[in-house]
């Protein structure tokens, strides 16, 4: 990974020189810290910024802070064509106008999202390192059509499985650090893309979520994260985990930017039949639902069962709930799920995810068998256990290996144990809907993560407190619900805290409305300051263009 990344940087430097400029000479006349899509588009229209200049600024920042300085290590690979794409889009914009709402906006994709370019798609595993996909994932194609510039791929928990303390570790990428505290992890499994956006290395990131993998990193990095309804965004071309649970969604620094990205990602994809369920229920523009008085009249339930992990987290979320009440929401507190629903979730989730991972990954690897010799889960395990990997600088984390072996031991998709778990998932889903219907709820709220970002291996912090208990994130995946996570503040040590708005399938318009209303009244998001420096003496883009 390191040699490949360095090759990418060297190639980019040569490409930059061919375009008549060097990364080291990039001016800081205007800075990108916390720049939004709206700021950047306004700067483009005013002629104060070009896409090429924007990409150069982000590449310089990645060089200075991701691969040097604090070494956040969020980017697993840089797109060697990014500058040429940006230069081409500058010409297109001048001659014909913008391609779409994301025109010229740099985006980081999670390393399991396939792209038909010179970047690889390794899902964090050296078992398929170097694999170049023959086609774009549907969402990558949609983003390109909307004008996005795919700047690179972000590190992730290997195979999106998690397991390593703090998250953000893979054998292909090593350890990603949390930009708010270098002794903490970015959470998983979309930790790399989340840390990149939090560190202002790009405007947007796209993650995947099988049981909280967008929302956990969003909470650990003070981002807005959208876990869409299953079917709203396509999974085709993404290395799968469990297709009954997998979704792809955006992470951004503001609700507006996340809503713009979500609209660009939606669409019917014949290669993902679940997307047909979104017909007539999806939108290409979710910003139309963003109103400041969006919480007025909303009925919000408080899922108290999922509090209790950390007093500061609880206090911040309860303060957020009181703010929602002040903004006109009716708060129903508490709202609880039946004990039987809570007790059934863990085993149901594990059975579905393990069984489907084995079947789905074997199908995926079999489909690309002509470009990778590691074409089954068993071969992945054998490769991961080889001395070459075990004795390397970045071996596969033991917890991940354990999960791979557990999945390999599962039966086929016709296994009665698996089929019974699917039936139980339906019971869980209906139980949650029953609770929401009985209380006439528009959404439930809970701490996105029970605790602040977890300690990395070897880190010591006597002030770190995290009490075990049930988490709520898996419910959205098992029930195919929607969930939007938004910042509510910071703990005394500066680590971020988020709240989740959880709603029925295809309730994204309402959840985004609630999240936006709360965000605009509080504006808690702030960039990291202790480990990732600002762009230096510069004027924010928002200050150099008319609103």
Catalytic machinery residues: 110, 189, 213
| Separation between Cα atoms, residue 187 and residue 219, nearest integer Å | 8
Number of C-beta neighbours around residue 47 at 10 A: 9
CA distance to 221, 473, 503, per residue, from 477 (Å): 21, 7, 12
Q: Of 536, 448, 547, whose CA–CA distance to 496 is shortest?
A: 448
Evaluate whether 111 touches 154 at the Cβ level (below 8 Å): yes
DSSP 347-416: HHHHHHHHHHHHHHHHHHHHHTTTT-S--SHHHHHHHHTSHHHHTSSSPPPHHHHHHHHHHHTS--TT-H
Q: In this structure, is the dihedral angle defined by the CA atoms of residues 392, 394, 398 and 402, taken in order, positive or negative? A: negative
Answer for the pair 300, 332: CB distance below 8 angstroms, yes or no.
Answer: yes
First-to-final CA distance of the chain: 42
Greatest alpha-carbon pair distance for the chain in Å reads 65
Q: Are 195 and 221 in contact (CB under 8 A)?
A: yes
The angle at the Cα of 263, spanning 262 to 266, to the nearest 5 degrees, equals: 85
Rounded Cα distance between 92 and 456, Å, is 45
SS (H, E, C) 61-78: HHHHHHCCCCCCCCEEEE
* Closest to 298 measured CA to CA, from 271, 321, 265: 321
The answer for residues whose C-beta is within 8 angstroms of residue 160's C-beta and 6 or more apart is 110, 112, 123, 124, 188, 189, 190, 208, 210, 213, 239, 241
The DSSP code for 310 is: -
- Residue 215 and residue 251: Cα distance in Å, rounded? 9
Cα–Cα distances in angstroms (integers) from residue 173 to residues 115, 202, 405, 455, in the given order: 18, 18, 22, 19
Of 35, 280, 74, 238, the closest CA to residue 143 belongs to 238
Whether 21 and 56 have beta carbons less than 8 Å apart is answered as yes
Strands (E), 398-517: 443-447, 482-490, 496-503
- Integer CA distances (angstroms), 320 to 64, 163, 331, 469, 494, in order: 36, 30, 11, 21, 17
Among 528, 502, 501, which Cα is nearest to 320's?
Answer: 501
């Amino acid at each position: 990974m390191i040699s490949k990344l360095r090759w990418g940087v060297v190639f980019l430097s040569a490409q930059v020189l061919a375009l008549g400029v060097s990364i080291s000479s990039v001016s800081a006349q205007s800075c990108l810290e916390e720049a939004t899509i709206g700021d950047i588009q306004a700067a483009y229209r005013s002629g104060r910024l070009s896409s090429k200049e924007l990409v150069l600024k982000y590449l310089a920042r990645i060089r200075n802070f991701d691969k040097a300085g604090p070494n956040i290590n969020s980017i697993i690979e840089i797109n060697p064509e990014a500058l040429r794409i940006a230069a081409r889009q500058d010409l297109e914009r001048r001659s014909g106008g913008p391609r779409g709402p994301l025109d010229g906006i740099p985006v980081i994709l999670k390393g399991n999202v396939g792209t038909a370019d010179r970047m690889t798609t390794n899902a964090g595993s050296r078992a398929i390192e170097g694999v170049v996909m023959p086609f774009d994932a549907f969402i990558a194609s949609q983003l390109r059509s909307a004008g996005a510039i795919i700047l690179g791929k972000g590190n992730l928990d290997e195979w999106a499985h998690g397991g390593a303390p703090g998250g953000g570790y893979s054998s292909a990428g090593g350890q990603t650090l949390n930009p708010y505290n270098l002794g903490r992890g970015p959470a998983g499994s979309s930790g790399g893309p989340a840390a990149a956006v939090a560190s202002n290395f790009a405007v947007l990131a796209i993650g995947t979520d099988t049981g909280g993998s967008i929302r956990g990193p969003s909470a650990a990095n003070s981002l807005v994260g959208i876990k869409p309804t299953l079917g709203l965004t396509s999974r085709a071309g993404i290395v799968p985990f469990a297709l009954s649970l997998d979704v792809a969604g955006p992470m951004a620094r503001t609700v507006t930017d996340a809503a713009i990205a979500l609209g660009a990602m939606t669409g019917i994809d014949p290669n993902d039949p679940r997307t047909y369920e979104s017909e007539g229920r999806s939108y290409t523009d979710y910003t139309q639902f963003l109103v400041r008085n969006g919480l007025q009249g909303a009925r919000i339930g408080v899922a108290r069962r999922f509090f209790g992990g950390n007093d500061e987290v609880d206090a911040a979320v309860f303060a957020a709930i009181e703010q929602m009440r002040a903004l006109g929401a009716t708060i129903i507190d508490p709202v609880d799920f039946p004990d039987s629903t809570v007790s059934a979730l863990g085993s149901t989730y594990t059975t579905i995810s393990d069984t489907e991972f084995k079947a789905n990954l074997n199908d995926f690897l079999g489909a690309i068998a002509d470009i990778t010799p590691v074409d089954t889960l068993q071969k992945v395990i054998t490769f991961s256990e080889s001395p070459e990997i075990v004795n390397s600088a970045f071996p596969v984390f033991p917890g991940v290996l354990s999960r791979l072996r557990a999945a390999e031991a599962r039966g086929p998709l016709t296994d009665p144990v698996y089929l019974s778990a699917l039936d139980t998932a339906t019971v869980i889903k209906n139980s949650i809907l029953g609770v929401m219907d009985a209380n006439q709820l528009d959404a439930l709220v809970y701490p996105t993560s029970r605790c602040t970002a977890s300690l990395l291996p070897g880190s010591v912090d006597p002030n770190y407190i995290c009490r075990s208990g049930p988490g709520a994130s898996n419910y959205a995946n098992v029930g195919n619900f929607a969930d939007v996570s938004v910042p509510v503040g910071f703990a005394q040590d500066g680590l971020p805290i988020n709240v989740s708005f959880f709603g029925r399938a295809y309730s994204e318009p309402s959840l985004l409305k609630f999240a936006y209303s709360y965000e605009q009244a509080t504006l808690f998001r702030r960039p990291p300051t202790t480990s990732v420096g600002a762009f230096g003496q510069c004027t924010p883009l928002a200050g150099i263009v008319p609103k």
